[in-house]
Amino acid sequence: MDVGPYSGILKYIGKSIIKIISLLIAVSILSFILVSVSPVDPVRAFIGEVGMANMSAENLAKLEAYFGVNTPPIERYWNWFTDFIQGDMGTSLLYRQPVTSVIHVKFMNSMVLMTTAWIFSGFLGFIFGIVAGLYRDRWIDKVIKGYSLLIASMPTFWLALVLVMIFSVWLQLLPIGLSVPIGVNAAEVSILDSIKHLILPALTLSVIGIANITLHTREKMIDIMGEDYILFAKARGKSRISIIRNHALRNIMLPAITLQFASISEIFGGSVLVEQVFSYPGLGKAAVSAGLGGDAPLLLGIAVISAALVFGGNLIANLLYGIIDPRIRRGSAYE
Amino acid sequence: MKNKRILALCLIVTFLFTLVGCGKADKTDAGTAAKDSVVIAMDAESEPAAGFDPIMGWAAGEHTHDPLIQSTLLITKDDITIGYDLAKEYTISPDGLTWTFKIRSDVKFTDGVPLTAKDVAFTYNNAMKQATETDLSMLKSVEAIDDTTAVFHFNTPYSAFAYTAAVVGIVPEHAYHAATYGKNPIGSGRYILKQWDKGQQVILEANPNYYGEKPKMKKVSIVFMSEDASYAAAQGGQVDVAYTAPSYTVNPIKGYNILAFNTEDIRGLNLPAVPAGNKTPAKRNGETYPAGNNVTSHLAIRQAIACAIDREAIVKNVLNGYGSVAYSDSVNEPWENEAMKVAYDPAKAKTILEADGWRLNAEGIYEKQGLKAEFDLLYISSNSVRTGIAMAVKEMLKPVGIKVNPMGSSWDQIATLCYATPHVFGAGSHSPTGVRSHYYTGKNYASYSNPTVDTYIDEALAATSVEASYPLWKKAQWDGAAGVTPQADSPWVWLVEIKHIYFVRENLNVIDKKIHPHGYGWTIVNNVHQWSWK
């Protein structure tokens, strides 16, 4: 089959689909093994120390059956898997609701947060990187570089706490957490309220992401600025802006895009911590409670969804290469 | 030229920051403007994952509390005796197997439909089928004889059921759908669930048609937060009541008082009463754990430990004063036996040991027939209070010649090890069944067994009224000749009660006299309808 210059891409997409299916199966098996060998006994976690002592053997047995403690792991996995391929992700043991509806609610919250952070960090990181690279070793470069190194070595939750202390406790400008105003009926919540609640968590997440992209873009920018063709352009009297636009941008875009899409996984990981600090009701928090509470169906659901998300990010990055740099599209990069 | 650009950049950054600044948070968020609403920060664990559905375990579990949205047949009063809510009276048949509840006829659900005995039967018959924290295994079935009479049939006599009936909220049969009820509960309680932002907050509004005392607080907002966030929220003035821990009280918050509430949140040590090499009774799947300890199986050791620990010092040093001494698993509850008390007397501890033939060795540790008075002590290492208690116990037993090796671990590990090794246990509940879980043969972490104690516990459960059961629960602890007191069998050594502490706005009048159960949670709002602003 030959469909012109795009046959490479199509083949690549086809291969990717096979890859993601096998990846998802592997992820679900691995997560399931982890849940099964985890020392956390879901029944014990569910009823607690005092509850455990007080409970009758009958009720305990009922709960053990509910959490599937005595069902062989392979049988449990097989039940989950056969349902899953028919589109049924099962029922969350803790929430007592279909996993899809639990994930749907949490996913929407997380997506807003992560997308905002992702766009901000990509955009700002890129700009900072270019500026720093362009004015190498000048004071602005030193400021940006220093800032990036500082940020890169900062734990996410610590930064989150510092921001809460500054903006919510001292200045009392922004809410302490949650995604909705406290004690306000849903009908009275404005879009501005939602934005206000998004600022701090999104800022924390993006600030962390910026450093990585800035530093890489800066390096690449410096490399390019040292190329002969830049020197030649300068010799021809071209302005800085047009040099960047015509010669540098495409070259620095490639690594930036790779990083940006690869950073989806980092933002996802960071969101787990940020959601804890800001009491933000996202997927990260749900994953933590599912893991600690032995809620296998929910944990598997979240694992599969997040694996698909990260894989999707990398796939898009690869596809974008071809669009930005025709050499890759024509060449054998997709083979 | 270049400098101008840099200047411009600086200006843009400043501008952006100003913009952020303009989004000044609205102070009315905190709900302090209105005088009949309150905002409470609870720990994130308190949010009921499965919703506000009593059939799925809402209000049950180890942190039992008033379901607020639903009514219950009975209630636990401030002193943990039993009072009435929906029930006007109840009678227990002489064999203890049939309970007859007469219920009020003037109660309506918030959708206007009257609550009848049919709803009671529906609730319990359904809750029985579910695997939840509500233990209803003693029930056989419930039937509604007429609109105001519900008859409960039991598998086994169980007078402590009154405490279960104080927790299980009654749901409307006509408006119950398992899939949605937890999110949109219809009840007949003091409050209506107005809104639930999952993972974040719950907004409750007073039920205007409530049959009982009219709530003064018309709106109660509860936010679910981590300990850090709760503290920050109080600092930022965004909540009126914030749960906290002793370590945070070092830095008081302006405008807030620190209130400490009495609890049934007890810490104590189980001292395995049989020698090593035993096994726990097999679980359903045949699993057993090693049980017994060669050192603590000596009665003298257990009695010595009970009087060698300075409980006051633990309260002062480990709990920063936010606690009190405890000698039983039921501090101040109607079934607590005074005989459980023991004086702090290290000299007596040594006398007891020496009378039993223990002799100090060169290292200053007691020995008897080659056996050293030395044992491991488990504690949950992620819990600072339990860590502190374990260390204090080690230090206090050293001078009386007993060597303790504290061993931090996780609850999951400890749950399998604690039958053979003492552990810094948490205990305490709004039900006398705690006595059974700590001392009844085959049920307890100390592998303790005494037929006399078992008999009293059986009799207490077979009592034909809750009030009649209290003296029997007391006798199970000490009947004048035998029991589990420190002077008698001493299978558990109880140490301290831990107060639950909250930051509370200075001008908020919080009424909460009811003893809190083990663990923070919804108990704080049991009486929220009586709270008021000064």
With a cut of 90, say whether residue B366 has pLDDT above it.
yes
Would B212 be classed as within a structural domain? no
Given a contact cutoff of 8 angstroms between Cβ atoms, the answer to whether A307 and A295 are in contact is no
Which residues of chain A make contact with B27, given a CB cutoff of 8 A? 172
Contact list in A for residue B228 (CB cut-off 8 A) is 161, 277
d(CA B480, CA B483): 8
Higher per-residue pLDDT: A9 or A184:
A184
Mean pLDDT of B163-172: 94
- B413, A173: Cβ pair inside 8 Å? no
Q: How does residue A65 score in pLDDT terms, banded at 50, 70 and 90?
A: confident
In this predicted model, which residue has the larger pLDDT, A276 or B375?
Answer: B375
H/E element holding B203?
strand B201-206
Q: Do B203 and A185 touch (CB under 8 A)?
A: yes
What is the spatial distance between Cα B526 and Cα B262, in angstroms, rounded to a whole number? 14
Mutation target for B interface from A59, A164, A279: give the one with most B CBs within 10 A.
A279
Classify residue A106: in a domain, yes or no: yes
For residue B264, give the amino acid letter: E
Residue of chain A whose Cα is closest to the Cα of B282: A57
Contacts of B182 in chain A (CB under 8 A): 96
* Residue B396: pLDDT over 90: yes
Shortest distance between the Cα of B412 and any Cα of chain A, in A, equals 6
Domain-ending residue, one of B152, B173, B194? B173
When divided into structural domains, chain B yields a total of 2
pLDDT score, position A175: 84
Residue A11 is assigned to a structural domain of this protein: no
User: From the list B133, B411, B436, which residue is nearest A44 (CB)?
Assistant: B411
Rounded to whole angstroms, the Cα distance separating B412 from B420 reads 15
Residue A231 lies in a domain: yes
Residue B335 pLDDT exceeds 70? yes
- Give the domain range for residue A271: 98-332
Across the interface, of B195, B410, B411, the residue whose CB is closest to A185 is B195
Q: Which amino acid is at A299?
A: L
- Tens-digit pLDDT profile for residues B58-82: 988 778 888 999 999 999 998 899 9
Quick one: pLDDT at residue B6? 53
Contact residues for B103 (Cβ-Cβ < 8 A; gap 6+): B73, B86, B87, B88, B115, B116, B117, B120, B148, B149, B150
Examine residue B197 and state whether it is found in any structural domain, yes or no.
no
Helical packing angle, B451-462 and B466-477, nearest 10°: 170
Summarised one tens digit per residue, pLDDT across range A16-37 is: 889 888 998 999 899 888 888 8
- The answer to the question of residue B430 being in a domain is yes
For chain A, the domain total comes to: 1
Determine the length of chain B.
Answer: 534
Task: Label residue B320 left, alpha or beta by phi (over 0 means left) and psi (-120 to 50 means alpha).
Answer: left
Check whether B343 has a pLDDT greater than 90. Answer: yes
Round to whole Å and give the CA distance between A199 and B49.
27
How many beta-carbon pairs below 8 A join chains A and B? 189
Q: Lowest mean pLDDT of A263-267, B87-91, B148-152, B294-298, name the range.
A: A263-267
* For range B209-230, the mean pLDDT: 91
Torsion of CA A47, A48, A49, A51, to 10 degrees: -30
User: B431 and A54 in contact by Cβ < 8 A?
Assistant: yes
Pick from A92-106, A110-124, A174-188, B517-531: least confident: A174-188
**Domain range holding B448?**
266-498
Terminal alpha carbon distance of chain A: 15
Same domain, B278 and B394: yes
b/e per residue, A296-313, with b = 16+ CB within 10 A? bbbbbbbbbbbbebbbeb
Look up the CATH number of the domain holding residue A129. Answer: 1.10.3720.10
Mean pLDDT, range B334-340, rounded to an integer? 93
Residue B4's pLDDT is 54
Confidence of residue A206 (pLDDT cuts 50, 70, 90): confident
Instruction: Answer whether residue B328 is part of any domain.
Output: yes
* 3-state SS class at A274: helix
Report CB contact under 8 Å: B62, A96: no
Q: Is B421 helix (H, G, I), strand (E, B) or coil?
A: coil
Q: Is 90 exceeded by the pLDDT of residue A163?
A: no
Which tokens belong to B364?
């200053």
How many Cβ atoms are within 10 Å of A7's Cβ, its own excluded?
A: 12
Q: Which residues of A touch B232 (CB under 8 A)?
A: 164-165, 168-169, 176-177
Contact A278 B229 (CB under 8 A): yes
Percent of chain B with pLDDT over 90: 71
Sheet holding B424-427, edge to edge: B323-325, B492-498, B266-270, B424-427
Write out pLDDT tens, residues B236-277. 888 999 999 888 888 889 999 999 999 989 999 999 999 999
Residue ending a domain, choose from B107, B139, B173: B173
Does the beta carbon of A278 lie under 8 angstroms from any beta carbon of chain B?
yes
Does B137 lie in the same domain as B278?
Answer: no
Closest CB to A277 among B229, B239, B425: B229
pLDDT at B122 over 70: yes
Q: Which residues, other chains included, contact A55 with Cβ-Cβ below 8 Å and sequence gap of 6+? A: A47, A63, B133, B135
The model's pLDDT over B401-417, given as tens digits with 9 standing for 90+, comes to: 999 999 999 888 898 89
In a domain, B41, yes or no: no
Residue of B nearest to A181 (CA): B29
User: For residue B458, how many other CB atoms are within 10 A of its CB?
Assistant: 15
Q: Answer yes or no: is pLDDT of B31 > 60.
A: no
When pLDDT is cut at 50, 70 and 90, the band that residue B295 belongs to is: very high
The answer to whether the CB atoms of B438 and A53 lie below 8 A apart is: yes
CA nearest to B42 within chain A: A279
Report d(CA B300, CA B168) in Å as an integer.
44
Q: Which residue has the higher pLDDT, A281 or B19?
A: A281
- Output the pLDDT for position B1: 44
pLDDT at residue A296, as a whole number: 86
Hey, are the CB atoms on B236 and A168 less than 8 Å from each other?
yes
Average pLDDT over residues B394-405: 95
> B interface mutation test: which of A112, A166, A176 has the most B CBs within 10 A?
A176
What pLDDT sits at residue B21?
Answer: 42
B372-392 pLDDT, tens digit per residue, is: 999 999 999 888 889 999 999
SS3 state of residue A155: coil
Classify residue A36: in a domain, yes or no.
Answer: no
Distance from CA of A229 to the nearest CA of B (A): 24
Which residue type does A10 have? L
Q: Enter the tokens of residue B397.
A: 């037993």
pLDDT score recorded for residue B511: 84
pLDDT digits (tens, 9 = 90+) for B11-23: 454 444 444 444 4
User: What would the mean pLDDT of B482-493 be, rounded to a whole number?
Assistant: 94
* Among the listed residues B422, B491, B486, the one whose alpha carbon sits nearest the alpha carbon of residue B450: B491
Q: Please report the pLDDT score of residue B23 as a whole number.
A: 41
- For the segment B462-468, the average pLDDT, to the nearest whole number, is 93
Q: How far is CA A43 from CA A221, B18, B52, in A?
A: 56, 51, 20
In a domain, B50, yes or no: no
Mean pLDDT of chain A: 83
CATH at B458: 3.10.105.10
In this prediction, residue B26 has a pLDDT band, given cuts at 50, 70 and 90, of very low
Q: Write down the pLDDT at residue B494.
A: 96
Q: Which helix (H) or strand (E) holds B74?
A: strand B74-76
Are B60 and B534 in contact by the 8 Å Cβ rule? The answer is no
Beta-bridged to residue B41, according to DSSP, are B223, B242
Q: Which of B173, B208, B239 is the last residue of a domain?
A: B173
Task: Report pLDDT digits (tens) over A87-111.
Answer: 888 888 888 888 888 888 888 888 8
Cβ pair A175:B238 closer than 8 A: yes
Q: Is there a domain that residue B326 lies in? A: yes
Q: What is the spatial distance between Cα B50 and Cα A97, in angstroms, rounded to a whole number?
A: 8
Residue B83 lies in a domain: yes
A59 touches chain B (CB under 8 A): yes
Quick one: pLDDT band at residue B28, thresholds 50, 70, 90?
very low
